């Protein structure tokens, strides 16, 4: 009986301890491993830094920022202060305060222009710009321009220039977008982004046309730009898209010329109208407008309005 009671008591203790361990708020991060924030020591700055990381993991960003700020004040110009500033920028970013996050990263660079963490900080600023593009394109442009200023030939410079152009496109500022895409080609001619920029220049013109209700001069420029893209990138990933757009442009141009021909018919100028119909047949033979133009020419000939 005593032996059975001992086994029961031991089993109860094991179950109780397991339940207690499982109920602990264990949090994992690469800096701390598995820890329980409630039992984590908070006496030294290193311990406070680890505690701040657990707060970030728990999405307690404001509290984390306060703890990190204390670590920085207690250890200015130290390695742990740099680490704390990077984490503070991350906390602000996760909080959605991109401007504050950017200011934190800039302060770190200002304190040490030659920091060995330059590449890491620029990488974080770049990701900040990407996040900011979703709701504040102008703010994102400032971030990307700053990255280029800090490291004009760096690993994210061409990427930043592309994102500047993309931001202008999102704001429907097509002329500014075209200028920005052209800077990609001019300043980073060996970048993998060049074919993309070549495609986007005429695409911006096409988008601008849609807003301007068919500016036909821009239409011609846009078509020429897509032809240049295909000529320079015959195996490019956007060739099929460029060809589809050229086809759409040709249909629009054919429609324009056909309707010009109809305009002259209404003005009782069949000779002038025939010139436009013939142009449609010659320049855009595979469009539906060419079929209509052929019918008009046949009808004009049948009534002897033209030879």
Model confidence over 196-251: pLDDT tens digits? 999 999 999 888 766 555 567 778 888 899 999 999 999 999 999 999 999 988 89
Least confident interval from 70-79, 118-127, 191-200: 70-79
Residues 193 and 197: their CA atoms lie apart, in Å, by 6
Classify residue 299: in a domain, yes or no. yes
Residues recorded for the chain:
307
Classify residue 296: in a domain, yes or no. yes
pLDDT tens per residue, range 201-214: 999 988 876 655 55
Residues 300 and 92: their CA atoms lie apart, in Å, by 73
Classify residue 287: in a domain, yes or no. yes
Split at pLDDT 50, 70, 90, the class of 17 is very low
Classify residue 120: in a domain, yes or no. no
Residues 53 and 51: their CA atoms lie apart, in Å, by 5
* Alpha carbon 253 to chain centroid, angstroms: 32
Mean pLDDT of 96-113: 86
Count of domains for the chain: 1
Confidence (pTM): 0.72
pLDDT at 214: 56
Classify residue 43: in a domain, yes or no. no
Closest CA to 162 of 146, 177, 150: 177
Split at pLDDT 50, 70, 90, the class of 32 is low
Classify residue 301: in a domain, yes or no. yes
Classify residue 266: in a domain, yes or no. yes
Name the β-bridge partners of 35: 27
Contacts 24+ apart (CB under 8 A), 203-209: 203/245, 204/169, 204/174, 204/177, 204/178, 205/174, 205/178, 206/245, 206/249, 207/169, 207/172, 207/174, 208/174, 208/175
Full residue range of the structural domain in which residue 306 is found: 254-307
Classify residue 304: in a domain, yes or no. yes
């Amino acid at each position: 009986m005593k032996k059975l009671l001992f086994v029961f008591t031991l089993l109860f203790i094991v179950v109780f301890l397991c339940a207690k361990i499982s109920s602990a708020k264990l949090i994992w991060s690469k800096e701390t491993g598995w820890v329980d924030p409630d039992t984590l020591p908070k006496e030294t700055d290193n311990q406070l830094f680890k505690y701040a990381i657990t707060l970030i993991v728990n999405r307690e960003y404001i509290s984390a920022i306060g703890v990190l700020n204390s670590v920085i004040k207690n250890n200015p110009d130290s390695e742990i202060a740099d680490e704390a500033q990077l984490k503070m920028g991350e906390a602000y970013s996760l909080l959605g305060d991109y401007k504050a996050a950017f200011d934190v990263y800039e302060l770190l660079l200002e304190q040490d222009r030659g920091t060995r963490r330059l590449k890491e900080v620029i990488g974080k600023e770049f990701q900040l710009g990407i996040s900011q593009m979703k709701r504040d394109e102008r703010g994102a442009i400032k971030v990307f321009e700053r990255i280029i200023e800090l490291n004009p030939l760096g690993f994210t410079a061409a990427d930043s220039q592309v994102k500047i152009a993309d931001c202008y496109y999102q704001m429907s500022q097509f002329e500014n977008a075209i200028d920005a895409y052209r800077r990609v080609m001019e300043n980073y001619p060996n970048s993998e982004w060049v074919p993309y920029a070549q495609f986007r220049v005429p695409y911006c013109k096409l988008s601008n046309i849609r807003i301007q209700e068919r500016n036909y001069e821009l239409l011609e420029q846009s078509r020429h730009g897509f032809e240049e893209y295909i000529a320079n990138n015959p195996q490019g990933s956007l060739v099929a898209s460029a060809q589809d757009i050229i086809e759409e442009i040709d249909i629009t141009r054919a429609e324009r010329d056909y309707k010009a021909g109809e305009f002259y018919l209404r003005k009782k100028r069949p000779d002038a109208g025939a010139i436009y119909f013939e142009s449609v047949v010659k320049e855009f033979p595979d469009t539906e407008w060419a079929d209509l133009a052929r019918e008009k020419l046949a009808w004009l000939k049948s009534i002897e309005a033209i030879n």
